[in-house]
Amino acid sequence: MRRGPASRRAERRAAAGGGLTATARRIIRLNYGFQLLFNLLWWMPVFYAYQKAAGLSDTEIFGIQSIYYVAFCLFEIPTGLIADRIGTRNCLRAGAVVMTAANLAPVFAASYTGFLIHFLAIAAGRSLTSGAASAYLYDGLRAEKCDAHYLRAEGTARALGLAAKVVCWPLVGPLMAVAHSTPYVLSAASAAGSVACAVALPRLAGPDGGRERAADRSDGGRRGGAFLRDAGTALRCVVTSPWLAMVMVQGVAVFTLSRICQVNLFQPILLDHGIAEASHGGVLAAMTVAEAVASARPQWLSRRLSPVAWVSLLSLALAGTLAAMTLGGPWVVVALLCLFAAATGFAYPIQRKLVNDAVPAHAPRATLLSVESIVDRAVCALAAVAAGAYLAAGHLDALLWHSALVTVALLGVFQLLLRTGVVRKSRYGPSRAAEAAEAAQTTGERRATAGGGRPAPP
């Protein structure tokens, strides 16, 4: 019999949020708000021109950027340990407060010192939340027996943040005409909103909640021995779990290729194909939309392949689009950049879930996620140096081809180790019940689509 509209709506609602407890819904919604507001940096499109107007030279501007990346890597080590000692929720609160203060620094001190303090504080704030945010979401949903919703929640949070940038960034120019410091004031206001979201996050239940309650006591878990024990535990997890180490290494290709292309090579590629600077903003907006849509719907990918296989395929897609950019014209390059962004959007939440699933129970999750972040950024720093050398020599096409070939070679080694049994999949990961729930959720969405409707957003 043909189903009526009411039946289809009920089916879509079940597919979107079926099985979520009230606490799980609260965690997911507050995580959306936190990720959107914390990462909404209004000054991003204009910070270079803003610093030039403040009297900084190119050497000073890029010198501050170099210090920022080094500081980020250094801060990742203690902040991951701090998150596992004081609790991820408390760490998110601290990071949001630091980010709010960081965005106000250029308003009161538009000088080299002020901008240096600004970026050092941003590195501290972002490192406090980089592992803690994902760890809190994963542990919170697991404590509520809602593991199957983690992938969609992680992807949608990223998509909402990207969509907010598409909407807000075009307004920066007109707002600066009204008040020059507006981008930094609005960034501080957004970060303050993320503080409110972090304060409203519920205390975790279960073993992780017990750890968080212990951290709230007078000693606060601040003894040096406790930090050293967590650091030793994290290192032992990586050494004794080849699967965890290999999953982290596999993610390096996605992070490095996406970062280098979308930040360092974006404008050189467009200029090399005769695309004027006036069009760069529109191309970047189109890329951001493509990445946001893909990030919001990683469950669109077929379940016939494992998440590990999908990350490998998406990494190959990133490498292939980079190589293809050397062959096409301007419109082809724009289309390939959007395809590159979409592949990045699909890959990020899947890779994040893979790493979280590979972390052993009761291990210092935030510390291990910080280790992954350090590895990603260290490789990215080396790749940026190499990219600069290629560009200085005028060998952009060679850089794109060599990046693709290196990626293919590394993924080939990874698959060889996996298929020969040298590295076996970890026994850790989501329970069978969680996997069954995730499969049921995906099946429900497909049935809703077949019934004439679209899956409702979470």
Span 255-269, mean pLDDT? 77
CATH code of residue 72: 1.20.1250.20
Split into its structural domains, the chain has a count of 2
Domain boundary among 213, 242, 268: 213
Residues 249 and 153 in one domain: no
Which domain covers residue 253, as residue numbers? 226-427
What mean pLDDT, rounded, does the chain reach? 77
Q: What pLDDT is recorded for position 33?
A: 93
Residues 64 and 85 in one domain: yes
Q: Could you tell me the two tokens for 443? A: 């099946």
The pLDDT tens digits of the residues spanning 287-318 come to 888 888 888 777 778 778 888 888 889 999 99
pTM for this structure?
Answer: 0.62
What's the pLDDT band for 423 if we cut at 50, 70, 90?
A: low
Do the domain assignments include residue 99? yes
Residues 101 and 136 in one domain: yes
Higher pLDDT, 28 or 359: 28
What's the pLDDT band for 214 if we cut at 50, 70, 90?
A: very low
Residues 230 and 203 in one domain: no
Q: What pLDDT is recorded for position 2?
A: 46
The pLDDT tens digits of the residues spanning 23-39 come to 889 999 999 999 999 98
Do the domain assignments include residue 59? yes
Do the domain assignments include residue 285? yes
Residues 172 and 271 in one domain: no
Q: Is 219 helix (H, G, I), strand (E, B) or coil?
A: coil
Residues 264 and 125 in one domain: no
Domain boundary among 213, 246, 266: 213
Q: Could you tell me the two tokens for 272? A: 């090399």
Q: Could you tell me the two tokens for 450? A: 């077949």
CA torsion sign for 401, 405, 411, 415 is positive
Do the domain assignments include residue 439? no
Tokens 């050189």 -> residue: 268
Do the domain assignments include residue 126? yes
Q: What pLDDT is recorded for position 374?
A: 77
Do the domain assignments include residue 436? no
Do the domain assignments include residue 142? yes
Residues 305 and 156 in one domain: no
Q: What pLDDT is recorded for position 231?
A: 65
Domain boundary among 182, 213, 244: 213
Cα–Cα distance, 188 to 53 (Å, whole number) = 21
In the chain, the percentage of residues whose pLDDT exceeds 90 is 16
Q: Could you tell me the two tokens for 348? A: 């990020």
Residues 196 and 331 in one domain: no
Do the domain assignments include residue 5? no
Chain Cα centroid distance, residue 255: 9
Assign residue 306 a region (left: φ > 0; alpha: ψ between -120 and 50; beta: otherwise).
beta
Residues 232 and 195 in one domain: no
Residues 182 and 298 in one domain: no
Cα–Cα distance, 365 to 343 (Å, whole number) = 26
Cα–Cα distance, 152 to 158 (Å, whole number) = 10
Cα 437-439-445 angle, rounded to 5 deg: 105
The pLDDT tens digits of the residues spanning 364-409 come to 776 777 777 778 877 777 777 777 778 778 888 888 899 889 888 9
Cα–Cα distance, 77 to 145 (Å, whole number) = 30
Tokens 């950049």 -> residue: 337
Q: Could you tell me the two tokens for 28? A: 């997911």
The pLDDT tens digits of the residues spanning 76-98 come to 777 666 776 778 888 899 999 99
Higher pLDDT, 215 or 32: 32
Residues 277 and 187 in one domain: no
Residues 343 and 391 in one domain: yes
| 8 Å CB contact between 92 and 133 | yes
